[in-house]
Chain A
Amino acid sequence: MNAIGRPSFRSLNQEGIVFAIAVALFAAAAIGLPGFLTADNIVAIVRSVSVLGILALGMAVVIIGRGIDLSAVAIMAMSVAWYLQLLNTGTPDGLAFAYVLVGVLAIGLLNGFLVAYADVPAIFVTLATGSFVFGYVRSQLITQDAVPVPQGHWVELLGGLRFLDIPVEVFVFAGLAFLFFLFLRYTKWGRYIYFAGDNPVAARNIGIPVRPMLVLRYVLSAFVALIAGLLTAASLHSINTRVVNSTLLYDIVLVAVIGGIGLSGGRGGVRNVLVGAALIGILLNAMTIIDIPLLYQNLIKAAILLGAIIVDGIINPRDEQTAQQGDI
């Protein structure tokens, strides 16, 4: 019996292929690149993909439900920037955090509400809310692009936390991955996401609360973005809001899609995120060691994302009958 949550045979193939490529790349880099196969560098790889992987977990949940969240990076950077700004201007920590938490959940609710109840395609809703969050926070709530973490604040201490010489974000990523795995595979709401992503009309007809679950996914994604933002600030001791206009968002989609989470919905799981993150982590690290200029790195990533989406379209075709105009 096909165990719940296990990707179907064909996407298992894609996952397998990507995993094999990741292993091959790792082996090639280990042999060919001096300094790649050192404990420090391995930790660096895992650390570099941790934040990316956490964001990809949130994205994965949305994509499995046949949506997409383009506001994730804006929420991640701007919520934490606002938080730090509040702290720097003397707002009590608890109050500041409560403000930010409410703001983040409100944006998630807005995304979910517009997609679920106003029937606006997710790609437009999240693009707009992402721009709005960035524009509003940058112009009204913070004063400069980069906001530093106050001296001795718990976010700074978090960044210094090590266990067995492994930075804390790796553990957070692992823990969240495990929680998401349990959620998607073993809980009722997690299963609802697969049903709604596979066939929303059928899911509604058999009595699954499709719309409330849709809202839940965007709220979850926004919340995960906040965690990722806090970890970013912890390791860099500041948050630079310019990241919103970087390629990070595409890296997130890249991780999810290349791991085998079909954009057509209902396919994939946490394992696909891990595989995708492994491949991208190794790739980025190797390119940095070889010293490929950033422009070319972006070109290579773009080519891989395009290839992954094309392969996804071929392996997981969304046929005309289930296709909806305007959604991704």
Chain B
Amino acid sequence: MEPIVRLENVTKNYRGVPAVKNVTFDLRKGEIHALLGENGAGKSTLTKIIAGVVEATSGRMFHNGREIAYASPHAALEAGIAMVFQETSLVPSMTVAQNLYLGTEKFLNRLRGTYISAQQFLQSLNFPVDPNAMVATLGAAKRQMVEIARAVHHNAEIIIFDEPTATLTPEEKRHFFALIRRLKAGGVSIVFISHALEEALAIADRITILRDGELVITDDTAAFDRDRIVAAMVGRTLSGQIYRQRDEAKLRKAGKKVLSVQDISMSNVVRNNSFSIFEGQITGVFGLIGSGRTETFKIVSGIYKRDFLRGGTIELDDRPVRYLVPSEAVADGIVYVTEDRKSEGIFETMGIAENLFGGLLAAGREKAWVINQQEMRQLSAEWTRTLNIKAINDNARVVELSGGNQQKVVIGKGLVQKPRIVIFDEPTRGVDVGAIAEIHQIINRLADEGLAVVVISSYLPEIMNLSDRILVCRQGRIVEEFSPAEATEEKIMYAAVH
């Protein structure tokens, strides 16, 4: 069968670092094509090239047999390629109906007519979303539905879904898969990126697996089973090293209780959340997007403020605390390592040394008023060695480093503050496989040194492998605790989605 889209030897470099290397990919008319791979395998980048969001560094793309390169998502949409993004691309201050028709409004536009047709359209998709509701007020799953509805509404012949099911409940997932099958029956070609292997096996016609930006294999779904996919995704050598199952004897025992959180609430994002954190072990926190896990720990580290009334209590060493700004938390030895290093982690105009030194200055341990350049260089040399930060030269700015090295700088910035409690939020997001192992080593070392370590992650193998105890967050609160020895991915996921 003639493929509707074909990529030939496509490569995409970000700042010289390849995210996709020499990949050849084709999508047939009316098929469901699953794209699998670990975090950072290049799935999103590959699909963004198809949808015109990013431009390939090299390689060729054919659409319906013609060689093309879409310069913008809009151009791709005009040509019939729609993408449903992982990060939602809706306008929060507009209603669902307005978002649905965004960019396709008629010049004169009757609100009532828009709402009625939006209502009918959403009903035809079986999505229980009120077209009058503002997008900002919707939960993650409903936003996802609006995104999907928008793509379908554009009558696209190709729809790309980037992790569409991550935030959906099992019931919503069933509706979603039924919809996908309906679209397929209507001749629409579908690419969908997923972390959930069972979903891919159940619904896809063909599966493509990427690893470290390279194509591993493309084959009919019938030729795969779970083991073969996992083997292809992680590669044989690495699976043993990074993601081995923990056995009970090797789990660290809980030390002194340092942090006790009771019933903290923040509007409707965090609700009556209670848990404790202990020294000398790694507490893994798993939760889907929108579960309030990040917000909970941002409250703990003083970045967000909990509700003033009925906000609950936080006790550090049995002493109640209520931080107004993060600097108070830092002074108490609580450090939060952000999940979004680009917008809230690194100082991009500066070099490694200054970024690290910033942590020391901010911690207030640097009593002197006058900056000692030599001290800064020593600090930088020491931490660059400890964390194995690799840069082309000493003057390299942080933005010129790879994702993994940037992440190490962000971690180092926190560690120079000599914390007692370190909270890592998605410590390996967008980090290459080699650096993941090193970052995990760093995290393990901190726990061995007796610090209280929290690792927030939405990647199950990471949680399973690092944690000495696992907390699962759902709808703004910790709902279950597991020991890694007894936990399985299924059990954790079950607790997280229900």
Query: In the complex the two chains form, is A1's CB within 8 Å of B351's CB?
Result: yes
Say which residue of A1, A186, A206, A267 sits within 8 Å of B326 (CB atoms).
A206
- A209-B343 CB under 8 A given contacts A186-B370, A188-B369: no
Write out the residue numbers on chain B whose beta carbons fall within 8 Å of the beta carbon of A38.
Answer: none
- Complex-state Cα separation, A207 to B329, whole angstroms: 8
Write out the residue numbers on chain A whose beta carbons fall within 8 Å of the beta carbon of B413.
Answer: 206
Query: In the complex the two chains form, is B362's CB within 8 Å of A207's CB?
Result: yes
A36 interface residue, CB < 8 Å from B? no
Which of A9, A191, A206, A266 has the most CB atoms of chain B within a 10 A radius of its CB?
A: A206
* Least CB distance, A8 to chain B, in whole angstroms: 6
* Least CB distance, B272 to chain A, in whole angstroms: 26
Say which residue of B346, B359, B366 sits within 8 Å of A188 (CB atoms).
B366
Write out the residue numbers on chain A whose beta carbons fall within 8 Å of the beta carbon of B371.
Answer: 4, 185-188, 190-191
- A187-B370 CB under 8 A given contacts A195-B358, A206-B326, A206-B413: yes
- Complex-state Cα separation, A319 to B81, whole angstroms: 26
Say which residue of A3, A192, A199, A266 sits within 8 Å of B373 (CB atoms).
A3
- Complex-state Cα separation, A186 to B369, whole angstroms: 8
Query: In the complex the two chains form, is A1's CB within 8 Å of B353's CB?
Result: yes
Closest CB pairs A-B (n = 10):
A207-B330, A207-B327, A2-B351, A207-B362, A201-B344, A198-B347, A321-B343, A266-B349, A208-B362, A206-B362
- Complex-state Cα separation, A207 to B325, whole angstroms: 8
The A275-303 residues at the B interface (CB cut-off 8 A) are none
Write out the residue numbers on chain B whose beta carbons fall within 8 Å of the beta carbon of A199.
Answer: 343-348
The B328-360 residues at the A interface (CB cut-off 8 A) are 329-331, 336, 338, 342-351, 353-354, 358-359
A205 interface residue, CB < 8 Å from B? yes
Write out the residue numbers on chain A whose beta carbons fall within 8 Å of the beta carbon of B344.
Answer: 199, 201-202, 205
For A, the interface residue count at a CB cutoff of 8 angstroms equals 31
15 A-B pairs with CB atoms under 8 Å apart are A1-B351, A2-B395, A8-B397, A192-B362, A194-B350, A195-B358, A195-B362, A202-B338, A202-B346, A203-B358, A204-B325, A207-B362, A209-B325, A266-B348, A267-B349
Which of A186, A187, A199, A203 has the most CB atoms of chain B within a 10 A radius of its CB?
A: A199
Say which residue of B351, B369, B380, B397 sits within 8 Å of A187 (CB atoms).
B369
* 0/1 string, A196-238, CB within 8 A of B gives 1: 0011011111111101000000000000000000000000000
* Least CB distance, A60 to chain B, in whole angstroms: 15
Write out the residue numbers on chain B whose beta carbons fall within 8 Å of the beta carbon of A2.
Answer: 350-351, 353-354, 394-395, 397
Shortest Cβ distance from A2 into B: residue:
B351
A247 interface residue, CB < 8 Å from B? no
Shortest Cβ distance from B381 into A: residue:
A1
* 0/1 string, A1-29, CB within 8 A of B gives 1: 11110001100000000000000000000
Shortest Cβ distance from B329 into A: residue:
A207
Write out the residue numbers on chain B whose beta carbons fall within 8 Å of the beta carbon of A9.
Answer: 395, 397
- A208-B350 CB under 8 A given contacts A1-B395, A2-B397, A322-B343: no
* Least CB distance, A212 to chain B, in whole angstroms: 10
Given contacts A191-B361, A202-B347, 18 further A-B contacts (CB under 8 A): A1-B394, A1-B395, A2-B353, A3-B373, A4-B354, A192-B362, A195-B361, A198-B348, A203-B358, A204-B325, A204-B326, A206-B330, A206-B362, A207-B325, A207-B327, A208-B358, A208-B362, A321-B343
Write out the residue numbers on chain A whose beta carbons fall within 8 Å of the beta carbon of B327.
Answer: 207-209
* Least CB distance, A112 to chain B, in whole angstroms: 16
Query: In the complex the two chains form, is A208's CB within 8 Å of B343's CB?
Result: no
* Least CB distance, A9 to chain B, in whole angstroms: 8
Write out the residue numbers on chain B whose beta carbons fall within 8 Å of the beta carbon of A192.
Answer: 361-362
Write out the residue numbers on chain A whose beta carbons fall within 8 Å of the beta carbon of B348.
Answer: 198-199, 266
* 0/1 string, B376-412, CB within 8 A of A gives 1: 1100100000000000001101000000000000000
Write out the residue numbers on chain A whose beta carbons fall within 8 Å of the beta carbon of B303.
Answer: 204-205
- Complex-state Cα separation, A191 to B380, whole angstroms: 16
- Complex-state Cα separation, A9 to B373, whole angstroms: 19
* 0/1 string, A295-322, CB within 8 A of B gives 1: 0000000000000000000000000011
Shortest Cβ distance from B338 into A: residue:
A205
Write out the residue numbers on chain A whose beta carbons fall within 8 Å of the beta carbon of B377.
Answer: 1
* Least CB distance, B217 to chain A, in whole angstroms: 34
Write out the residue numbers on chain B whose beta carbons fall within 8 Å of the beta carbon of A190.
Answer: 371
The A155-208 residues at the B interface (CB cut-off 8 A) are 185-188, 190-192, 194-195, 198-199, 201-208
Write out the residue numbers on chain A whose beta carbons fall within 8 Å of the beta carbon of B325.
Answer: 204, 207, 209, 211
* Least CB distance, A224 to chain B, in whole angstroms: 21
- Complex-state Cα separation, A207 to B303, whole angstroms: 10
Shortest Cβ distance from B337 into A: residue:
A205
Write out the residue numbers on chain B whose beta carbons fall within 8 Å of the beta carbon of A3.
Answer: 373
Which of A9, A186, A191, A192 has the most CB atoms of chain B within a 10 A radius of its CB?
A: A191
* Least CB distance, A270 to chain B, in whole angstroms: 15
B65 interface residue, CB < 8 Å from A? no
Shortest Cβ distance from A185 into B: residue:
B371
Say which residue of A1, A4, A321 sits within 8 Å of B342 (CB atoms).
A321
Write out the residue numbers on chain B whose beta carbons fall within 8 Å of the beta carbon of A185.
Answer: 371
B152 interface residue, CB < 8 Å from A? no
- Complex-state Cα separation, A151 to B435, whole angstroms: 73
Query: In the complex the two chains form, is A195's CB within 8 Å of B343's CB?
Result: no
* Least CB distance, B58 to chain A, in whole angstroms: 24
* Least CB distance, B164 to chain A, in whole angstroms: 23
B364 interface residue, CB < 8 Å from A? yes
B291 interface residue, CB < 8 Å from A? no
- A208-B394 CB under 8 A given contacts A4-B354, A322-B343: no
* Least CB distance, B31 to chain A, in whole angstroms: 34
Write out the residue numbers on chain B whose beta carbons fall within 8 Å of the beta carbon of A267.
Answer: 349
- A206-B354 CB under 8 A given contacts A1-B394, A201-B344: no
Which of B354, B376, B395 has the most CB atoms of chain A within a 10 A radius of its CB?
A: B354
Which of B342, B344, B353 has the most CB atoms of chain A within a 10 A radius of its CB?
A: B344
* Least CB distance, B328 to chain A, in whole angstroms: 8
* Least CB distance, B388 to chain A, in whole angstroms: 18
- A201-B343 CB under 8 A given contacts A2-B350, A206-B358, A267-B349: yes
Shortest Cβ distance from B303 into A: residue:
A205
Write out the residue numbers on chain A whose beta carbons fall within 8 Å of the beta carbon of B301.
Answer: 205
- A207-B350 CB under 8 A given contacts A2-B397, A4-B373, A188-B366: no
* Least CB distance, A48 to chain B, in whole angstroms: 32
Query: In the complex the two chains form, is A206's CB within 8 Å of B350's CB?
Result: no
Write out the residue numbers on chain B whose beta carbons fall within 8 Å of the beta carbon of A186.
Answer: 370-371
- A266-B347 CB under 8 A given contacts A2-B354, A206-B326, A207-B326: yes
* 0/1 string, B408-425, CB within 8 A of A gives 1: 000001100100000000
Write out the residue numbers on chain A whose beta carbons fall within 8 Å of the beta carbon of B366.
Answer: 188
Query: In the complex the two chains form, is A206's CB within 8 Å of B353's CB?
Result: no
- A4-B362 CB under 8 A given contacts A198-B348, A205-B344, A207-B326: no
